[in-house]
Amino acid sequence: MEALKQWIHEKIANSPHAELLIEPPPQVAGAGEQVLATIGRAPEKVAYLAVRHGGSTVRVGFAAKDRWANEEVEEAVESNGGTMTEFLEDEMEADDELEYQVQHFHEAGWFHFASDIPKDPAYFDTAEGRELVWYYFDGYARAILPIVAGEDE
- Domain boundaries of the chain, sorted by first residue: 2-149
pLDDT tens digits, 38-87: 999 989 999 999 998 778 899 999 999 989 999 999 999 999 888 999 99
State which fold the 2-149 domain adopts: Yope Regulator; Chain: A, (3.30.1460)
Q: How confident is the model at residue 150 (pLDDT cuts 50, 70, 90)?
A: low
In this structure, are residues 25 and 42 in contact, taking their beta carbons and an 8 Å threshold? no
* 150 Rama sector, left if φ>0, alpha if ψ -120 to 50, beta otherwise: left
Indicate the pTM of the whole model.
Answer: 0.92
Q: Would you list the DSSP string of 65-123?
A: S-HHHHHHHHHHHHHHTS-HHHHHHHHHT-SS--SS--EEEEETTEEEEEEEEE--GGG
**Separation CA 135–CA 43 (nearest Å):** 22
* Closest listed residue to residue 52, CA positions, set 117, 111, 136, 139: 117
**Separation CA 109–CA 106 (nearest Å):** 7
